[in-house]
Amino acid sequence: MPRRYHVLMVSAALAAGCATNPVTGKSQLSLVSESQEIQMGREAAQQTLAEIGEVKNPGLQAYVSRIGKELASRSERPQLPWEFHVVDDASVNAFALPGGFIFVTRGLMTYMNNEAELATVLGHEIGHVTNRHSVSQISKAQVAQLGLGIGSILSPTVARFGQLAGAGLQLLFLKYSRDAENEADLAGFRYALKDNYDVREMSDVFKTLDRVEAAAGAQGKLPNWLSTHPAPADRIQNTQARLDTLHQSLAGTKVNRDVYLQQVNGLVFGDDPRQGYFRNGLFLHPDLRFQIQFPSGWQTQNTAQAVMAGSPNQDAIMQLTLGQGTPSAAAQQFFSQQGVQSQNVSNTTINGMPAVAGYFQAQTDQGAVAGLVTFVSYGNATYQIMGYTPAAGLSRYDAVFRQTMASFGPLNDPAALNVQAAKVELVRVPRAMTIAEFNSQYPSSIPVEQVAIINELTADGRLQAGQMAKRVTGGVR
């Protein structure tokens, strides 16, 4: 297509896609309708919950949802199908999906200290939705693709929203501009203030998040806060500027420290070993009672749906997932996929357990890949263990794949089977004491520096008599 037609199409798309930002009243590029925005967000939210999972605590979920929906009802888009979820992830973060689907990680909940802080965080994420920041970014990306001749914003596929909905979890990693973050901060400040929260607590959230990142704690499956948000120094300053120009008293506004802390009492802190954990490449799953040894030096990750490992050269991947049906049925389903060619498929055993294994080759957008896959029956379930690499490199990794798959077996170590997650525990401080004295009298399984952070105290800070404080007990040592 000649270049002038691309220019005309881009211009037409821009002209047709201008909308008014519901919060600022300014003109904003938007090639996505509200119904499409909601559809995109709902599909990505379903994928998020499937991949990461919710914290199994109905009381906590209802608490966060109640606060979030009250804030959203005071926003410029109260009609959206707002949902609020606490996801079971150790990273310290919160994020918003288009259409009103808001998520706070378990990790962030354990680091905050009162309801007012939570309200400003939820308000910030609500602000991204009300300002339609995700929609604006996606619209710009679609125009960029159009200008490059990659696709047409008017194409039937995009009109049906299939391409956008397919973005899935990529929406979690959108990086907003500084202006967008400032808009979301301002919105969160306003929404919390409207609901009579003490917005002075907003600065403490940013300070805590900065300290968490500096201490490099709580890795999780999701990126930490500073991976998706700008540095907090300017945001603390902007919050203070808003407070300085606030012409109303904050006396009597809600903080609700003890109410909030009771909600996080007993919450898992850090990664939950009951859902599987690594020990020098050995993956142990206490609840499912199996173990598997991944290659030394490989990058590993445990998610709700798969355990994965990548080679140091990033040219080979191994993953363990649940299969469907018996090993034979799961193998038949796998090898019958279109484009998958099988070789040497046979029945076998792994550590006495019935299995089906075979080699495969498949064509992908990045070229041909080849690998080995094994389906093994254990504990009333079928596990799929797969290793693959570019077709030319199979001979290099074949022995590694086979060795890893052969290591799958029952977990019998009592210490591993009985491991418990670290959890937040509340203590009513009997007398004024430093954080060091508190940690000495009520020891934690995390460093004292981290105890100070979760209580929003400096290293030489003091707890007051009668104050509720957090410590962490249990976990893998």
Q: What is the pLDDT of residue 202?
A: 96
Structural domain boundaries, residue 462: 423-473
Q: What is the pLDDT of residue 65?
A: 98
Tokens of 224: 């930490």
Three-class secondary structure assignment of 239-287: HHHHHHCCCCCCCCCECCHHHHHHHHCCCECCCCHHHCEEECCEEEECC
Q: What is the pLDDT of residue 301?
A: 85
- State which H helix or E strand residue 290 sits in: strand 290-293
Q: Are residues 316 and 460 in the same domain?
A: no
- Specify the DSSP class assigned to residue 54: B
Backbone angles phi, psi at 116, to 5 degrees: -65, -40
pTM over 0.85: no
115 lies in a domain? Answer: yes
Q: Are residues 143 and 108 in the same domain?
A: yes
417 lies in a domain? Answer: no
Tell me which amino acid residue 429 is. Answer: V
Angle between helices 178-194 and 233-244 (to 10 degrees): 40
Residue-wise pLDDT tens digits, 293-308: 999 999 998 877 789 9
Q: How confident is the model at residue 214 (pLDDT cuts 50, 70, 90)?
A: confident
211 lies in a domain? Answer: yes
Buried b (16+ CB within 10 A) or exposed e, 375-386: bbbbeeebbbbb
Please report how many Cα atoms fall inside a 13 Å half-sphere around the Cα of residue 458, on the Cβ side: 2
Residue-wise pLDDT tens digits, 60-95: 999 999 999 999 999 999 999 999 999 999 989 899
Residue for token pair 């020891």 = 443
Q: How confident is the model at residue 50 (pLDDT cuts 50, 70, 90)?
A: confident
Q: Are residues 432 and 331 in the same domain?
A: no
Q: What percent of the chain has pLDDT over 70?
A: 81
Q: Are residues 161 and 28 in the same domain?
A: yes
Domain count, the chain: 3
Residue-wise pLDDT tens digits, 118-167: 999 999 999 999 998 887 666 444 333 332 222 222 222 222 222 222 33
Torsion of CA 179, 182, 187, 192, to 10 degrees: 170
User: For residues 375 and 383, what is the distance between their CA atoms, to the nearest angstrom?
Assistant: 6
- State which H helix or E strand residue 390 sits in: strand 381-390
Q: What is the CATH number of the domain that holds 280?
A: 3.40.1000.10
Please report how many Cα atoms fall inside a 13 Å half-sphere around the Cα of residue 263, on the Cβ side: 26
Q: What is the pLDDT of residue 136?
A: 63
Q: Are residues 211 and 260 in the same domain?
A: yes
Q: Are residues 202 and 345 in the same domain?
A: no
Residue for token pair 């105290």 = 457
Does position 33 have pLDDT exceeding 70, yes or no? yes
Q: What is the pLDDT of residue 148?
A: 27
Q: Are residues 288 and 429 in the same domain?
A: no
